[in-house]
Structure 1
Amino acid sequence: MGKKLIEFRNVSFRYGDEQPWVLKNCSFDIYEKEWLAIIGHNGSGKSTIAKLMNGLLFPQEGEIIIDGQQVNEESIWSIRKDVGMVFQNPDNQFVGTTVQDDVAFGMENRGIPREEMITRISETLSAVGMQDYLLTEPHRLSGGQKQRVAIASVLAISPQVLILDEATAMLDPKGRTEIMQTVNNVQEKNELSLITITHDLQEVVQADRVIVMNDGEIWDEAIPRDIFSKKDDLREIGLDVPFVAILADELKANGISITKEPLNHEELLEDLWTLHLKT
């Protein structure tokens, strides 16, 4: 692991004094340039974690440190320069009358010089494949195109951390795949820390590390392969496992020796082909 970028230290949160705790004494670290997926059933606390990282909420107990700064009301504007967030519904993030205006908005608020803004608008829209839509009105875009522009708007402020909070949930499978390919390319090029909060198992298996939330607590934290090896335990807390993992179990039950927990169809086919060559 590299340098710690985000630290949650015994963080607890609830939406009101009489409400139940949404997060309970959560501690974990996020590192520079890593892809962390946070999963859990609805109400498990995962989206609350995202809002706490971005300073949209503040913990009642514990502390959050981002790049050496404690997240509080005094540091919040500095924190938001480092942490960009893309939500499930991109329409909630649009403020400009054109794609160009929308990408420029965050930079204008930060006083970035006009020449630099023009360069960043061009670079970020090119990075997400939307350079030909500069003067298009956002409401004329498809769902996937809107998410690309929302991602470009966040990238334009040059954050260290990009959070996707169910950002592909409203897209069809093709759109989800395209957006995640775009995000993956952007992360590698810009060397960002990427945090995805998602129900999409195909996103989860691509991550470097996974945190599983259950009833406001960290249920487990490991690499995807280790997480999805606990199929029965995951089902008990209301989570699915990848279809390829279920298929591998069925093959094992029928006497076919799968040597490892496959995360995708390519791994399973490779294992089966190796087995075939041995026989």
Structure 2
Amino acid sequence: MGERQVEFRNVSFRYQEDMPWVLRDVSFTIGPDEWVAVIGHNGSGKSTIAKLMNGLLFPQEGEILVDGMPVNEETIWDVRKQVGMVFQNPDNQFVGTTVKDDVAFGMENHGMPRELMLERIKESLSAVGMSDYEQQEPHRLSGGQKQRVAIASVLAVSPKFIILDEATAMLDPKGRKEIMNTVHRVQEERDLSLITITHDLHEVTQSSRVIVMNKGEVWMQGSPRDVFSKKEHLQEIGLDTPFVSKLADHLKAEGVPLTREPLNHQELLEELWTSRSIM
């Protein structure tokens, strides 16, 4: 086993010996084609998880396997072919003078042949709707456009896993929505696994599974519906729940029968229609 998955086995991590553990005995597996959202308050260890997956950090205890391959200094470049990462601030990711150079950079690092690179640049920019911007200078782009180019650069290397580490945090709601739609479409077209480290509850409701981190430990994991139905528990560890979830609670308190935890407005409306026709 181990093909097409990322596995954390009893991973513990701290930044220095005399510092507290940031992660403690963390274990989980992310399988093929999954969209897993990792949530938790600041300092819960979620961004550290992203950096460990990509070999930017190494754990002091436990091990991380990508595609059955242990992540360490020797395997790091192979790991990075499989696991691509998009960060919060796109400006820190740009290295090229044009969008095209920028998308080429990651592939150059992996020593890909030129013909393949040109083909991949076209494919990746087209996948994120940025084909017309090949010759543009990155700093002239909007925040959302920069994030699309950052995603294209990751796609060009053709990974099996893409991590978005708070990658929509600096965008406005419209830009955020566009990026998530882009990523979701690409995920389905390319059979990728997607790992999103996020504060955006709407993003979380779209995922297939949620890992809730608290004080460096996996506090809970399950479908978004399971997780958001435990509102009181989430609030205890300082996490919010979607507006629709709160509204559903108020309705239940007023005696409106709802059969399941709605994840979005559409589902809530359907629930209300159903309960209305029963009443």
TM-score when normalising by structure 2: 0.98
Determine helix, strand or coil for the equivalent of 2:5.
strand
Match of 1:165 in 2: 165
Match of 2:140 in 1: 140
Cα-to-partner distance string for 1:78-100 (whole Å, 9 max, x where unaligned) = 11110000000011110000000
Match of 1:53 in 2: 53
What is the rounded CA distance, in whole Å, between the counterparts of 2:13 and 2:276 in structure 1?
A: 53
Structure 1 residue runs of 5 or longer lacking an equivalent are: none
Residue 81 of structure 2 aligns to which amino acid in structure 1? K
Cα-to-partner distance string for 1:200-225 (whole Å, 9 max, x where unaligned) = 00010111100000000010011110
Cα-to-partner distance string for 1:37-71 (whole Å, 9 max, x where unaligned) = 00000000000000000000000000111101101
What is the rounded CA distance, in whole Å, between the counterparts of 1:126 and 1:77 in structure 2?
A: 26
Structure 2 residue runs of 5 or longer lacking an equivalent are: none
Percent identical pairs in the alignment equals: 72
TM-score when normalising by structure 1: 0.98
Cα-to-partner distance string for 1:213-269 (whole Å, 9 max, x where unaligned) = 000001001111000000011001000000000000111111111111000000000
Match of 1:93 in 2: 93
Match of 1:81 in 2: 81
Residue 78 of structure 1 aligns to which amino acid in structure 2? D
Residue 246 of structure 2 aligns to which amino acid in structure 1? I
Match of 1:7 in 2: 7
Residue 75 of structure 2 aligns to which amino acid in structure 1? S
Q: Is the 8 A contact 1:4 1:29 kept in 2?
A: no
Question: Greater CA deviation, 113-122 or 202-211?
Answer: 113-122
Q: Is the 8 A contact 2:3 2:68 kept in 1?
A: no
Cα-to-partner distance string for 1:11-37 (whole Å, 9 max, x where unaligned) = 000000000000001111110110000
Q: Is the 8 A contact 2:4 2:160 kept in 1?
A: no
Determine helix, strand or coil for the equivalent of 1:80.
helix
Residue 251 of structure 1 aligns to which amino acid in structure 2? L
Q: Is the 8 A contact 2:85 2:163 kept in 1?
A: yes
After superposition, residues 104-143 of structure 1 pair within 5 angstroms as: 104-143=104-143
Match of 1:206 in 2: 206
- Structure 1 residues 3 and 230: alpha-carbon distance in aligned structure 2, compared to 1, 3 A threshold: farther
Superposition RMSD in Å: 1.0
Number of aligned positions between the proteins: 278
Q: Is the 8 A contact 1:104 1:117 kept in 2?
A: yes
